Amino acid sequence: MSWKIAIVVALITAILTGIVTAFVAEYTTKAMKLSEFEGGRGYAVMFLILAALIGGLIIGMVVTGMVGAVGWNHFWKAQGWSLLVSNGIVFGIAGLCLLSIPKKLLLDGETIALEAEIFLPEDLGPTGSPNKRNLRLSLYATSDDNHYVDIDTMRIRREAGTLVIPVEAPLNTVSPGRMLSLTVNDSVGYTLDMPLQPAPREEDLVWTERLPMRLSKVSGVKYEHTRVLVRYRVIKKGKPEKD
């Protein structure tokens, strides 16, 4: 192997790979919605460019040796393979990152949400007037899609000794095991293991029957169902906004 050829190939590979990485990293980090807080995404892009420069140098040296470049007539062969390998790695990593981005959950091309009504007997209800401190609701889909649901206390109504709590929450990801959980007075929790399809369909647009919620805290091997009931349906929310 000619060290002169190896050094030239390594430098060119590093520079071109760094340039390609700058554009690819910019696009990929935006698509992944990396935080801009305190320049976080910018630092990530700079780190990836630096890694590409170092990687390009190493790949250029290694590939030149592997192709046995001993004269300048082997330069283009060594350079071509070096760029192919280095940029192949860049695009391969970027592709895997893009594939890991959760796709928006759509039905007929529209985003969807869960609309639910919780029927809470008043004797199990909160102490005092319902508010955001004594009533909390969450929707679990996956470990990365687990969030509180806003309860509009102005929409809560009373029907025959029962508090009816209407809520709405976006459905973001495919999930085979969604759970809707209500906490009352920061002490007692009620959970519905939702029999909703992982990717909702047209038949999920109609109201379900009223389903009993279980105590969130499980003791033993059996769930303890309660008098707290819930019904739900999926609703369409319109075309997704373009990022």
* Residue-level pLDDT at 41: 86
Q: Point out the least confidently predicted range of 43-47, 114-118, 221-225.
A: 221-225
* Residue-level pLDDT at 84: 95
Output the six-digit token pair for 43.
């630092």
pTM of this structure: 0.64
Q: Are 162 and 124 in contact (CB under 8 A)?
A: no
Nearest residue to 1 (alpha-carbon basis) of 64, 85, 94? 64
Element spanning 23, H or E: helix 3-31
**How far is it, in rounded angstroms, from Cα 199 to Cα 172?**
10
Tell me which CATH code domain 106-236 carries: 2.60.40
DSSP track, 76-93: HHHHHHHHHHHHHHHHHH
Structural domain spans, the chain:
3-99, 106-236
Mean pLDDT for the stretch of residues 65-71: 83
**Long-range CB contacts (< 8 A, 24+ apart) of 61-64?**
61/6, 61/7, 61/9, 61/10, 63/9, 63/13, 64/1, 64/2, 64/5, 64/6, 64/9, 64/10
* Residue-level pLDDT at 243: 56
What is the chain's mean pLDDT, rounded?
A: 90
Percent of the chain with pLDDT over 70: 98
Query: Strand 225-236 and strand 211-215: pairing?
Result: antiparallel
